[in-house]
């Protein structure tokens, strides 16, 4: 069979199973299977595949049919135009989180910036930030050794490992010193909301990276409380948040003596990032 035939067959099957992006998923899986990019599939639709390639491709398709996210099937995901390894030990990096990276970059000055990331997961945020600035020193923590192993490989593969120190521990426990910026994409799904997530998220991605408690802002509160000890004078706290959490976070940040509180919306118009400065 050729590429075009396989893609048509697979897209039809995905549509029947209710896969949300059938054409894209088919292309990503086939490109990964043959070690090419998606542009190759457009340029050479008549490319004949070996029986071994077809068999491997169909095994990947079967996994996707069962609901496994494409990123876990391929073991990789693009973020900030960089290639990241992903495994079921880490949350799949999402485009919305690039907004958090954008906002943190705006806080950089000309001198070396010291950053602490809480809950680094795949390392996507820290690696992206390190890739954009020479004068940056990042400490990234996570309570999962498995996640830190993935993050370490991603830093190495993207040539920024010398700028990032990965430490294992809960929240601020392993951190030492003070930082100009503390950044986090914390779990912000409430226990009730978790049951409403798409099955491919609910059943495959690490629950601890998604769900935090009854309200969805419990982790944010712990970050706001603990960050003050580790922020330098007039330092910034930057966090991702979920839909409908703006008012609760404004209250939490005011209660913990932060100022200059601002929000940034994602491309769907949902408040997605909050920035707050430590009062002197």
pTM over 0.95: no
Burial 215-248 (b: 16+ CB within 10 A, else e): ebbbbbbbbbebbeebbeeebbbbbbbbeebbeb
What CATH number belongs to 3-66? Answer: 1.10.8.10
Contact 13, 20 (CB under 8 A): no
- pLDDT over threshold 90, residue 37: no
HSE-up of 198 (CA within 13 Å, CB side)?
A: 10
> With bands split at pLDDT 50, 70 and 90, how would you rate the model's confidence at 30?
very high
Contact 118, 143 (CB under 8 A): no
Residue-level pLDDT at 44: 84
Residue-level pLDDT at 241: 96
| 169-176 contacts, C-beta under 8 A, 24 or more apart | 169/141, 169/143, 170/143, 171/118, 171/141, 171/222, 171/223, 171/226, 172/116, 172/118, 172/141, 172/226, 172/227, 172/229, 172/230, 173/141, 174/141, 175/116, 175/139, 175/141, 175/230
Across the range 261-277, mean pLDDT stands at 95
Q: Among 64, 188, 56, which Cα is nearest to 118's? A: 188
Q: How far apart are CA 72 and CA 93, in angstroms?
A: 11
Q: Structural domain boundaries of the chain? A: 3-66, 91-278
User: Alpha helix (H) ranges present in 85-231?
Assistant: 95-105, 124-132, 145-157, 191-194, 199-202, 218-230
> With bands split at pLDDT 50, 70 and 90, how would you rate the model's confidence at 28?
very high
Q: Say what percent of the chain tops pLDDT 90.
A: 83
**Burial category of 124 from C-beta neighbours within 10 Å (exposed 0-12, middle 13-18, buried 19 and up):** buried
Mean pLDDT lowest for which of 18-22, 88-92, 149-153, 166-170? 18-22
User: Alpha helix (H) ranges present in the chain?
Assistant: 3-17, 22-34, 38-43, 51-65, 70-74, 95-105, 124-132, 145-157, 191-194, 199-202, 218-230, 246-255
What CATH number belongs to 91-278? Answer: 3.40.50.150
- pLDDT over threshold 80, residue 280: no
Q: How far apart are CA 256 and CA 101, in angstroms?
A: 24
- pLDDT over threshold 80, residue 198: yes
Judge whether 3-66 and 91-278 match in fold.
no
Mean pLDDT value across the chain: 94
**Burial category of 196 from C-beta neighbours within 10 Å (exposed 0-12, middle 13-18, buried 19 and up):** exposed
- pLDDT over threshold 80, residue 110: no
Spatial CB neighbours of 95, under 8 Å, sequence gap ≥ 6 = none
Residue-wise pLDDT tens digits, 178-194: 999 999 999 999 988 99
The backbone region for 267, taken as left when phi is positive above 0, alpha when psi lies in -120 to 50, beta otherwise, is alpha
Contact 220, 241 (CB under 8 A): yes
């Amino acid at each position: 069979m050729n590429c075009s035939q396989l893609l048509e067959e697979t897209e039809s099957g995905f549509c029947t199973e209710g896969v949300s992006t059938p054409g894209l998923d088919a292309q990503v899986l086939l490109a990964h299977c043959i070690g090419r990019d998606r542009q190759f599939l457009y340029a050479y639709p008549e490319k004949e595949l070996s029986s071994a390639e077809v068999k491997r491709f169909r095994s990947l398709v079967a996994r996707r049919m069962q609901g496994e996210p494409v990123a876990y099937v391929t073991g990789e995901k693009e973020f900030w135009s960089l290639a990241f390894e992903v495994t079921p030990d880490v949350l799949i990096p999402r485009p919305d989180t690039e907004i958090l990276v954008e906002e943190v970059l705006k806080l950089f000055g000309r001198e070396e910036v010291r950053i602490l990331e809480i809950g680094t997961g795949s390392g996507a945020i820290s690696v992206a930030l390190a890739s954009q600035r020479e004068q940056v020193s990042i400490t990234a923590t996570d309570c999962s050794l498995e996640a830190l192993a993935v993050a370490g490989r991603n830093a190495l593969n993207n040539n920024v490992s010398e700028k990032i120190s990965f430490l294992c521990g809960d929240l601020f426990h392993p951190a030492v010193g003070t930082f100009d910026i503390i950044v986090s994409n914390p779990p912000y799904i409430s226990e009730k909301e978790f049951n409403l997530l798409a099955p491919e998220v609910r059943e495959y991605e690490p629950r601890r990276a998604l769900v935090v408690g009854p309200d969805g802002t419990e982790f944010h509160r712990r970050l706001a409380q603990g960050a003050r000890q580790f922020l330098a004078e007039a330092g910034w706290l930057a966090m991702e948040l979920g839909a409908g959490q703006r008012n609760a976070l404004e209250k939490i940040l005011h209660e913990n003596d932060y100022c200059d509180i601002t929000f940034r919306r994602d491309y769907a118009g949902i408040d997605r990032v909050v920035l707050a400065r430590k009062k002197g």
